Structure 1
Amino acid sequence: MDETPTETPTPNAPYGTPQAPRLAVRGEAHLEVDPELARIGVTVSARGSDRREALGDLTRRNTTALDLIKTYGEAVEKLETGAFSITPELTKRGKGERIRTYHGRVHITAELTDFTALGELTTRLADLDLTRVDGPWWSLRPTSPAYATARQQAVKEAVQRAREYAQAIGADLAALLELADIGAEGPAPFNGYGGAPRAMGRAAYAGAADTEAAPLDLEPERQHVYANVNARFTMTPPTL
């Protein structure tokens, strides 16, 4: 009895066929948008020859800084206390080791959404005794609509580019084979307190003034959002 040979299916050609050519393009998008968040770093310090005295001063100044930040209510989206340290400084003279003084530090991070309040708050914090202010670091929320907008624009750009290529040879798009997300990125990653740092006032190690200083006029740094996709299509037969 003769056996009917089984036909082996022909795999799709990697570059398509004359009846269904393949087309690969990249879609890109770049948005420039206003930031949604601003982070500042606050370092409260204390110094004293007695450990308890230095610790007491540090506790008081830390409480003062926290209470000041909290007065801004909903303008402050996040408030966190980071590293705390109390370090003895030894004398450099003499045979025995003696403690000359104690240094205490507490690091605070505040994240604000109201940039008008940000300028006023940073000025008032910098006006406190032995208080250093760094920042601001501008950023977008991870859930910012800007990321979705950039991705959508990248896809639309890919489709438009593919259609233009196809029409250039008398064809049109037939089907989408693949859409690959190769990255939708916002500003540079945070370094410590935030993204690409933009110095706001270096450090403030000054005693409280008799009158309050004028609020800093801070200009928010525009954020850059990128999206890139690879797309593969099949086309109708071209007219060559």
Structure 2
Amino acid sequence: MTVPYGTPDAPRIAVRGEAHLEVDPEIARIGITIASRGKDRRTALDDLTHRNTTALNLVKTYGDAVERLETGSFSVTPELKEHGRGERIHAYHGHVHITAELTDFTALGELTTKLADLELTHVDGPWWALRRDSPAHREARRQAVREAVQRAKEYAEALGTHLAALTELADIGAEDPEPRFVGKAARSRAMAYDETQATDQGAAPLDLQPQRQHVHAQVNARFTMAPPQL
């Protein structure tokens, strides 16, 4: 039977190890919303298809700089006249949303500007982030474990003894039924652009400064130590 607080022959030390890293982002995401308008549904749909193809082809010209390109929501909806009897349709509006994920931040500024230069196109972002398997997460966990061991050693040394064994190592939240989101890796510095910001001569590429990402790791560790001479 395990005694939760140790015994005189095997005192227990419980510590927490933490690590905080600040690193450059690895990816940037932008949202592209393309709109169209027509007097009838077919005109609005054809125009939306054309604009969508134009935007997709533009993004694809950046090759390997674009890691992921996905189409999200799509809609074509009628606009009813505000006055008059009955439900008379005044026009149709189309929208399609695209998400692009880039790894080349120099290309990001140029692409964002070119997309914003397209008519009826709205660009949101960028959202800076790390990949889920980023080495930064692994390094933060290693540092947190090393800190826990070092902290436990310092407590033992303060008592004139030494650590004997590790009895438990737990990632913070590992036994918590509710998920926790620690850090700012998924946060972003968001901007929005649309075609009204462009000029006839074409806008100069935006100088986008990547936002540093904060990575956190925490562990709980429990050790036994040799009995100190008090």
TM-score range, shorter chain: over 0.9
Distance 2:223 2:87 in 1: 76
Q: Is the 8 A contact 2:77 2:92 kept in 1?
A: yes
The reply to whether residue 199 of structure 1 matches residue 190 of structure 2 is yes
1:89 maps to which residue? 79
User: How much does 1:210 deviate?
Assistant: 2.8
Question: Which residue among 8, 15, 20 is the counterpart of 1:30?
Answer: 20
Question: Which residue among 124, 134, 145 is the counterpart of 1:155?
Answer: 145
* SS at 2:57 equivalent: helix
1:7 maps to which residue? none
Q: 1:207 to 1:223 in 2, by over 3 A?
A: closer
* SS at 2:210 equivalent: coil
* SS at 1:65 equivalent: helix
* SS at 2:46 equivalent: helix
Distance 2:122 2:10 in 1: 66
Distance 1:47 1:197 in 2: 32
* SS at 1:64 equivalent: helix
Q: Is the 8 A contact 1:186 1:224 kept in 2?
A: no
User: How much does 1:52 deviate?
Assistant: 1.3
Q: 1:229 to 1:208 in 2, by over 3 A?
A: closer
Distance 2:153 2:117 in 1: 60
Question: Which residue among 115, 121, 132 is the counterpart of 1:125?
Answer: 115
* SS at 1:59 equivalent: helix
Distance 1:12 1:109 in 2: 53
* SS at 2:6 equivalent: coil
> Over aligned residue pairs, what C-alpha RMSD do you find?
1.7
The reply to whether residue 134 of structure 1 matches residue 124 of structure 2 is yes
1:50 maps to which residue? 40
Can you give the 5+ residue segments of structure 1 that lack an aligned partner in the other structure? Answer: 1-10, 190-194
Distance 1:209 1:12 in 2: 73
Distance 2:29 2:110 in 1: 14
User: How much does 1:185 deviate?
Assistant: 5.9
Sequence identity of aligned pairs in percent? 70
1:143 maps to which residue? 133
* SS at 1:30 equivalent: strand
The runs of 4+ residues in structure 1 deviating greater than 6 Å are none
- TM score, norm. by length of structure 2: 0.92
| Residues 147-156 or 50-59, more deviating | 50-59
Summarize the alignment of residues 1-240 of structure 1 with structure 2, pairs less than 5 Å apart.
Answer: 11-182=1-172, 187-188=183-184, 195-200=186-191, 202-206=192-196, 209-240=199-230
Q: Is the 8 A contact 1:131 1:204 kept in 2?
A: yes
- TM score, norm. by length of structure 1: 0.89
Distance 2:125 2:149 in 1: 41
